[in-house]
Amino acid sequence: MMLWSLISWPYARKHLLRWMLTMAGIVLGVGVFVGMHTANRSVLSAFQETIDRIAGSTQLQVTAGEPGFDEDILEKVQNVPEVRAAAPVIEATVATGSGNLLILGVDMLGDRSLRNYDLEDTDASIDDPLVFLAQADSLLVTKTFAEKSGLRVNSRVPMRTMQGDLTFTVRGIMKPGGLASAFGGDLAIMDIYAAQKFLGRGRKFDRIDVALADGVSLDEGIAKLRAAVGSGYEIAPPSSRGEQFEQTSRIYSLASNITSVFALFIGMFIIYNTFAIAVTQRRSEIGILRALGATRSQIRALFLGESAVAGLIGSTVGVLFGIVLARAMAGYIGGMLTEVYGVAQRAGDVALDPLLIGGALAMGIATSVVAAVIPSRAAAAVDPVKALQKGRDQAVSERENRLRQWTATLCAVASAVTLAFNRTPLVFYAGFVLSVVAAVLLTPALTLWLARLLRPLLQWARPVEGTLAADSLIQGPKRTSGTVAALMLSLALVISLSGLARSSYEAISDWTRIALNPDLFVTTAQSVSARTFVFPASLGDGLRKIQGVGEVQSVRSVRVNVKGSPVMLLALDIASMEQHAKLPSVQGDPHEMYRLTAKGEGLMASENYMRLHGAKFGEVLDIPAPSGRLHLPIVGVVRDFSDQQGTLIISRAAYVRTWNDDSVNVFRIYVAPGAQEAAVRQRIIDTFGKTQRLFVLTNGDVRRFIRRLTDQWFGLTYVQIAVAVLIAVLGVVNALTVSITDRRRELGVLQAVGALRQQVRHTVWMEAIAIGVIGLVLGLSLGVVTLYYAVGMARRDFMGTEIGYSYPFDTALVLVPVILFAAFLAAIAPGEAAVKGSLVEALEYE
Amino acid sequence: MIHLRGISKRFEGKRTVTALERLDLDIARGEMVSIVGPSGSGKSTLLNLIGGLDRATEGEIELDGATLSRLSDDELTRVRRDKLGFIFQFFNLLPTLTCVENVALPLHLRGWPRAKIEARTKELLNLVQLGHRLDHQPDELSGGERQRVAIARALSVYPPILLADEPTGNLDTATGVEILKLIHDVHERLGATVLIVTHDANVAESCERTLRIRDGRIVEDIRRESARSSTEEPTRA
Amino acid sequence: MNRRAVITGLALLAVPCLAQDPRQIMEEVQRRQRSDSQHYEGTLEVIGGGNRIATKRWMYDRLGSFGASKAILRFVAPPEVKGVGLLIVNHADKASDQWMWRPNIGREQRIAFQDRSTRFFGTDFSFEDLEERDVAQYDFKLLSDEGAAWKLESTPRKSSQYTHSYLWVKKDNYTVTRLELFTKKGLMRTIDYRDFELNKGVWTARTTEINDVTRNSRTILKFDKLEYNSPMKDADFTIDALRRGV
C-alpha cells in the first residue's frame, strides 16, 4: 500500500489522460454488458410486475395461444369443484393519443373475486356496476391515466374499434396501487363482452384466470383443469409468462454478450499496451526500487495492483455508463416483447441487480489484471543494474518472436482444421477463437512487415516526417502492435456485423419481393404485424365484391406455443400462395409440400424455425389447439422471415377447423388486370371505412414497414458497430499518447536540429495514419475470416436462416476514410502535446 | 556575433530558482569559447538560451543580427536551423535512422533537394571520418563514432555557430581527445563560432577563451593566445 | 328457509298448527305463500356510504312457484340501465340458473354459480338472494319462542354462500319478518319485511329493507302494482324471451 501511494499514484496522476483512455475499453465492455442485462432485467421485472398486478389473486391461467378459445370453456372451468373462482380475460394494447393503453377486458361480475377495483370516491353514485355493464362504452381508468389525459368520470374517450370510431365513457377512476399500477398505470378496464365486440374477437376469450379452492394444491388444480378442458390448453401460473420472455430475450443477451466480450478483449490490448509502455518508462524507477531492496514479487504486485485499481475505476464508470445505456435500451426490448407476446409491460426505473453489477466489476477488474500480467512480469524481471544505466529498452527477443509466430501458425492451422468438422457448436466456436488468437499473435510481425512496406511510401510523401513516423512504428513494435491488434479486432467486428446485416438485408428483401407481392393489404392497424384487432371472415366476401379487386387472400397469423417456444403460425390459402407468392423451397419437393399443406396433411416450416428449434424435416409437430392437439408433419422447409422465432405455415381451412376461428389479420389483395390500384384502394375505404376499423396499405407501405422493422432488428448491430469504431479510435489515441510520451526526447531532438512545429505535428499525424492504414489492412483482412464465423453464428444461433457470405466492400470502403480520419483526429491532441512544453526538458527526458 | 544584454533566467516553481542573473556577454565571430563552472551554476542554461531552446526571463540575446526574444517559436526554429548546430552529451541520435539519415535529417527539414542532401551528407561524414559507416545504425557504432555522427549532423548546413553541451562527457579520455580535435578542426576549417560547455579542464583550456560561471554570473573571463596545448597533433585533412 | 321471501315477501294466513316442529312451521310458511304467478314493479333505493342514494326501477314476473318457478326481472329506470334483464330458472334440488341480458352489446350472459355471492348490480342483494328455493333444500332448527314469533335457524344443504341464517316467523300469519344471514365470516346481511298487505290471499311485504352489514349499506325495495295469479306463458320465461324483451 505504501509502495502504491508513493510510486503508483504520482505516476498515474502525471499520466491521467492516458489512464483514462486506457480504461475506455473496460468502460465500454462493462457498460454494454451492464446496460443490456439491466435493460433486459428491468423489462422483465416490469413485465413480471404487470403480470403480477394484473393477476391479482389468480393462481393459474388457462390459455390456448394467441387465438384464444371459445367462451363455453369458461363454464367447464367454473364447474371444476377445485376452482374457487374463474374469470375470463381479454388483454390488448391499443395505441391512443397519449401512448399505449393496456385494455383489460374482464367480467365485472366475477372478476372482483380475483382482482380489486378500488374506485375513487366520486360525488355521483355513477360508479354503478349495473351502469358499467349496461353501457357497452364503459371504461374504468386508473387515476394515473386520468390525470395524465385530463379525464374525469363521464369524460369521453375516443377509440378506433372494429366497429368504427367510437367514444367510450369513463365510469370510474381506480385508485392507484395494485391492479391500477400495472403497466405504469396506463390501463383501462372494459367489460369483456364489450371488448370481444370492439376488438373483433368474436365469442372468444384470451384466457381464464383461476383461483383454486382452499386447500387445493397447484399441481392438483392443474391436473383437474387439464382433465376438464383437454390437452390443447396450457395451464400454468401467471409467472410462467415471464419465463417464456426470458427465453426470447436470450438472443439479445447473447448478442450483447459478444459485444461486451469483444470490447473487453480489445480493451485488454489497450491496457496491455499502456502497461507495457509504463514498465518501459519506469524502468529506472523499478531499478531504484529493486536496488533499495524491493523483491521481484513486490514489483509484480505493484503493477498488478495498479491494473486492478484501473480495472475497478474503469468498471465502475462502465457500470454507471451501463445504467444510462439500460434506460435507452429498455424501451427497445420492451417493444420487442410487446411484439412477440402481445403482452404489455412498461419499464419504469431500471432495476439494478447487485449480483450483475458485482459480476461486471469482477469482469472488468479481471480483464485489466490479465492484461497487466505480462508487463508486470517484465517489470519484475528488470535488472536493477542495467535499468539504472541510461539507455533504451532491450528489443523484443528473437526467441519470443519465433515462439509467438509458431503458436500463431499452429492456431491458424488448428482453426483451418476445425472448418472441416464444424458441425458441433463447440468446434465451431473453438475455430473462431483460434483464428482470432492466431491473428492477434501474428499482429506484431505483420505490423513490422507492413510498417517496413509503408516506409518508402511515407518517405516519398514527406522525407523526414514520413521516415520518422514509419520508424517510430518499426522501432516500437510492442507499443504499436497492441493498438493495431485492438484496431484490427474492432474493424473485423465491424466488417462481420455489417456483412451480416447486409446479407440479411439482401435475404430479407428477396423474401419481401416474393412473399409480399400483393398490391394492397387490408389491415386492422397501421403496422402489418399488429394483432390486437382482427377482422371477421365475412369482410373478405365484401372485399371480393369491390370492383377492381382480383384475388383476396385471407391471412391469419397467431403466435402459438410449440414445444414451449412461441412461434408464429401463419394460416392462409395455400393454393393461392403457391400461385402468387411461392416461397423458395429449402427442403422438400417444391410442389408436393404445397399440395400436402393445402390438404391439411402437413405444414411448411420456415428455415429459421428448423434451425432455432432443432426441428427435422418430416418430424411431426404437436401443436396445442383448443380442440385438442394438431399433429402435422413438416412436409417442406421454406425461406420465410415473417418472424424471428420461426414460422409455421398451415392451410387456412385446417386452422379454422382446429381453432374454430375464422377471423383474419390481413387481407392480401391482388388488383384485377387493368384496375387502378389507387382507385381500388379508395373504393375499399369508401365502402368499409366508416363501419369498420380498417387500413388499406399499398405494397410500398408494407415494404417500407418491413424495412423499418428490419432496421429495428439490426438496431443492436449498429450500436455494436458504433462501439467498435469508438474503441478503435480510443485505441489509436491511446497508442499515440503513449508514443508521444515515449518519444518526447526524440521529438525534442528533432526540434533542436531545426524541425518546425508543423513538421513535428506532421510526424505524429503520419504515425497515426500509418497505424490506421496497418489496422485497416489487418482488420479488413481478418474481417474476411470473422464474417465467415458471424454468418455461421447467425445461421446457428440468432436468425436460423441460411444467409449468403457477402463481404461488405462498401462498408470497407467507407471504413478507410473513417478510420484514417479518426486516426488523424486522434493524432491532433498528441501532436499538440508533442510541440508544446519545454524543449530543454524534452531533451533531458528520461 | 553573439550579444547578451542583461540576461536573467528564473525557473518558477514552489520556489523561484535563479539560474542566470543579469548577464552580459559578447562573443565575436569565429571565437571558440568554453564555459565552465560547477553543477547548477547556469552554464547549460546559458547554452540553451543562446541556442534558442529556451527563452530568457529578462534581457536580449542577439544572434548574428537576430534578436531572439522578438521571434515567434517557428522563427526561432528557423534561426536555430540556419545559424546553429548542436552537439549533445548523449548524442541524441535517432536510433532507427542510419548515419546518413541522421545527418540528413536537418537538411530534409529544410527541404533540400535529395541530390544535394546526398552530396552534403557524404561530404560531412567523410569530414568526421565515418565515410565507411554510412548505412550503419547508431547502436552499431561506438560512443566516439556516435558523437562524430552527431557533429556531422550539427554541421549539416555549415552553421556559423556551433553549440556543444559536454561533448566529451560521455566518452573515455582517448575518444574525448579525438572528438575535441575534430571540433577544433571544424572550427578552423569552417571558421565557425564555437561554444562548449564542459567540466573537462583539458577541453576548457584548449579554447582561446574560457568563461567561468558561478551562481548565474560570469566570474571569470580568460583569454589565451595559444590555446592548443592539449591538442598538439596536427589534424588530418 | 324460503328464499322467495326476500323478493316477494311472505303473506300467510294464521292457521292453527302443531307449531313446535320447525320444518312444519316452514312448510306452512311456504304453503301460505304459494301462488301461480306474480307481477310487480319494484323501486330500489340504494343508500350507500355518505347517504348517497341511487334509485332504480324494475319489473318482475314470476311463473310457478317454489323450486319450479321461473322469473324475469327487467330494469326500466334509470335510462342508462333500461332494458337490462335477468332470467332466473329455479330448480327443486339445486341452485338456480341465471342469465343476464345486455341490450347494449346485444347478448346474454350466464351468471356463473361462483358469482352468485356477488352483489346484484350495486344493490345490497346478491344474485343468490334472488333465487327461490324449496324448503326441502334446508335443515331447520327452532331456537326460541319469542311470544308473537318463532326464531328459527336454517342451514342450506348445498350450494350457498351462507353457512346458516336466523329467521323470525310471526305466529299469527306465518310471515317471515326478519332474516339474519351468516357466512363463514359472520353476519353478512339482515333483511326486514314491513308494510304487509293481503293480496289475493297472500300476505305480502310491500317494503323490504336489506342491510349489508359488512359495507354499512342498505337497499330498500318497494312494491307497486302487485298482482298474483295473472295469466303468464312458459314461453315468456326463456332465453329467447329474455333477448326479445317484454
- Averaged confidence pLDDT in chain B: 83
Residue A426: what pLDDT? 80
Q: Please state, in angstroms and rounded to a whole number, the distance separating the CA atoms of residues A611 and A792.
A: 12
Cβ–Cβ under 8 Å, residues A130 and A168: no
pLDDT tens, position by position, A40-58: 777 777 777 778 888 888 8
Residue A338: what pLDDT? 64
Which of the pair, A335 or C4, is modelled with greater confidence? A335
Residues of B in contact with A759 (CB under 8 A): 109
User: Distance (Å) from the C-alpha of residue C105 to the closest C-alpha of chain A?
Assistant: 6
Q: Please state, in angstroms and rounded to a whole number, the distance separating the CA atoms of residues A407 and A413.
A: 10
Cβ A753–B153 below 8 Å, yes or no? yes
φ/ψ of residue A380, rounded to 5 = -65, -25
Residue A782: what pLDDT? 93
Q: Please state, in angstroms and rounded to a whole number, the distance separating the CA atoms of residues C57 and C41.
A: 7
Q: Any idea which of A23-32, A491-500, A810-819, B147-156 has the lowest mean pLDDT?
A: A23-32
Q: Any idea which of A388-392, A414-418, A665-669, C194-198 has the lowest mean pLDDT?
A: A388-392
Residue A46: what pLDDT? 77
- Averaged confidence pLDDT in chain A: 82
Chain A residues with CB under 8 Å of a chain C CB are 74-75, 78, 83-86, 107, 109-110, 112-113, 121, 125, 128-131, 133-137, 191, 193-194, 197
Looking at the partner chain, which of A107, A110, A134 has a beta carbon nearest the beta carbon of C104? A134
Residues of C in contact with A121 (CB under 8 A): 50
Which of these CATH numbers, 3.30.470.10, 2.60.40.1120, 3.40.50.720, 3.40.50.300, describes B2-223? 3.40.50.300
Q: Which helix or strand (DSSP H or E) is residue B131 part of?
A: none
Q: Please state, in angstroms and rounded to a whole number, the distance separating the CA atoms of residues A265 and C192.
A: 82
Integer CA distances (angstroms), A633 to A88, A372, A658, B59, B83, in order: 33, 57, 16, 99, 93
Examine the pLDDT at B228 and tell me if it is beyond 60. no
Beta bridge partners of A87: A209
Looking at the partner chain, which of A750, A759, A840 has a beta carbon nearest the beta carbon of B53? A840
Cβ A754–B94 below 8 Å, yes or no? no
Examine the pLDDT at A244 and tell me if it is beyond 70. no
Chain B meets chain A (3+ C-beta pairs below 8 A): yes
Mean pLDDT of A377-390: 70
What are the domain boundaries of chain B?
2-223
Q: Any idea which of A301-315, A399-413, C73-87 has the lowest mean pLDDT?
A: A399-413
Residue A340: what pLDDT? 57
Residue A651: what pLDDT? 93
Residues of A in contact with C119 (CB under 8 A): 129
Written as one letter, the residue type at B77 is: T
User: Distance (Å) from the C-alpha of residue B105 to the closest C-alpha of chain A?
Assistant: 6
% of chain C surpassing 70 pLDDT = 90
Residue A529: what pLDDT? 67
Examine the pLDDT at C192 and tell me if it is beyond 90. yes
pLDDT tens, position by position, B32-84: 999 988 887 888 888 888 888 888 888 889 888 888 888 888 888 888 888 88
User: Predicted confidence band at A366 (pLDDT cuts at 50, 70, 90)?
Assistant: very high
Looking at the partner chain, which of A107, A125, A137 has a beta carbon nearest the beta carbon of C54? A125
Mutate to test the interface with A, among B12, B39, B48, B105 (most CBs of A within 10 A): B105
A156's grid cell = 369521453
Residue A251: what pLDDT? 66
| A88: CB partners within 8 A, 6+ apart | A71, A74, A106, A107, A192, A205, A207, A208, A209
Q: Any idea which of A3-7, A574-578, A686-690 has the lowest mean pLDDT?
A: A3-7
Looking at the partner chain, which of C52, C80, C114 has a beta carbon nearest the beta carbon of A134? C80
Residue A1: what pLDDT? 52
Mutate to test the interface with B, among A749, A757, A761 (most CBs of B within 10 A): A749
Cβ C114–A113 below 8 Å, yes or no? yes
Residue A201: what pLDDT? 84
Residue A784: what pLDDT? 93
Residues of C in contact with A83 (CB under 8 A): 114
Residues of A in contact with C46 (CB under 8 A): 125
Please tell me which residue of chain A has the smallest CA distance to B84.
A753
Beta bridge partners of C155: C139
Cβ A110–C112 below 8 Å, yes or no? yes
Residue A249: what pLDDT? 67
Residues of C in contact with A161 (CB under 8 A): none
User: Predicted confidence band at A633 (pLDDT cuts at 50, 70, 90)?
Assistant: very high
B31's grid cell = 571565437
Q: Please state, in angstroms and rounded to a whole number, the distance separating the CA atoms of residues A102 and A79.
A: 30
Cβ A134–C122 below 8 Å, yes or no? no
pLDDT tens, position by position, A426-475: 888 888 888 888 998 888 888 889 988 988 888 888 877 888 888 878 77
Which of the pair, A327 or A728, is modelled with greater confidence? A327
Mean pLDDT of A410-422: 81
Strands of A123-281, DSSP E: 138-142, 156-161, 164-174, 187-191, 204-205, 207-212, 234-236
Examine the pLDDT at A424 and tell me if it is beyond 80. no
Written as one letter, the residue type at A358 is: G
Examine the pLDDT at C74 and tell me if it is beyond 80. yes
φ/ψ of residue A566, rounded to 5 = -75, 120
Q: Which of A703-712, A773-782, B167-176 has the highest mean pLDDT?
A: A773-782
* Proportion of chain A in helix, strand, coil states, percent, rounded to 5: 60, 15, 25
User: Distance (Å) from the C-alpha of residue B67 to the closest C-alpha of chain A?
Assistant: 18
Cβ C100–A133 below 8 Å, yes or no? yes
Place of cell 329467521: C167
Mean pLDDT of A564-581: 86
Is residue C93 exposed (0-12), middle (13-18) or buried (19+ Cβ within 10 Å)?
exposed
pLDDT tens, position by position, B71-129: 888 888 888 888 888 888 777 787 777 888 888 888 887 878 888 888 888 888 888 88
A-B CB pairs within 8 A amount to: 68
Q: What architecture is domain C4-244? A: Clam (2.50)
Alpha helices by DSSP H, listed for A342-424, are: 354-380, 384-388, 398-420
Among candidate residues C245, C219, C242, the one with its CA nearest the CA of residue C126 = C219
* Proportion of chain B in helix, strand, coil states, percent, rounded to 5: 35, 25, 40
Cβ A757–B73 below 8 Å, yes or no? yes
Examine the pLDDT at C15 and tell me if it is beyond 60. no
pLDDT tens, position by position, A788-827: 988 888 777 777 777 778 898 988 998 899 888 888 888 8
Strands of A699-757, DSSP E: none
Place of cell 536573467: B8
Examine the pLDDT at A648 and tell me if it is beyond 90. yes
Residue A778: what pLDDT? 94
Among candidate residues C168, C173, C172, C214, the one with its CA nearest the CA of residue C191 = C168
Examine the pLDDT at A518 and tell me if it is beyond 70. yes
Q: Please state, in angstroms and rounded to a whole number, the distance separating the CA atoms of residues A630 and A208.
A: 22
Is some CB atom of chain B closer than 8 A to the CB atom of A757?
yes
Q: Chains that contact C by 3+ CB pairs under 8 Å?
A: A
Cβ–Cβ under 8 Å, residues B46 and B123: no
Residue A179: what pLDDT? 83
Of the CA atoms within 13 Å of residue A559, those in its CB half-sphere come to 23
How far, rounded to the nearest angstrom, does the alpha carbon of residue A714 sit from its chain's CA centroid?
8
Please tell me which residue of chain C has the smallest CA distance to A124.
C52
Q: Which of A67-81, A174-188, A282-296 has the highest mean pLDDT?
A: A67-81
Cβ–Cβ under 8 Å, residues B189 and B162: no
Mean pLDDT of A598-627: 88
Which of the pair, A279 or C167, is modelled with greater confidence? C167
Quote the ipTM score: 0.78
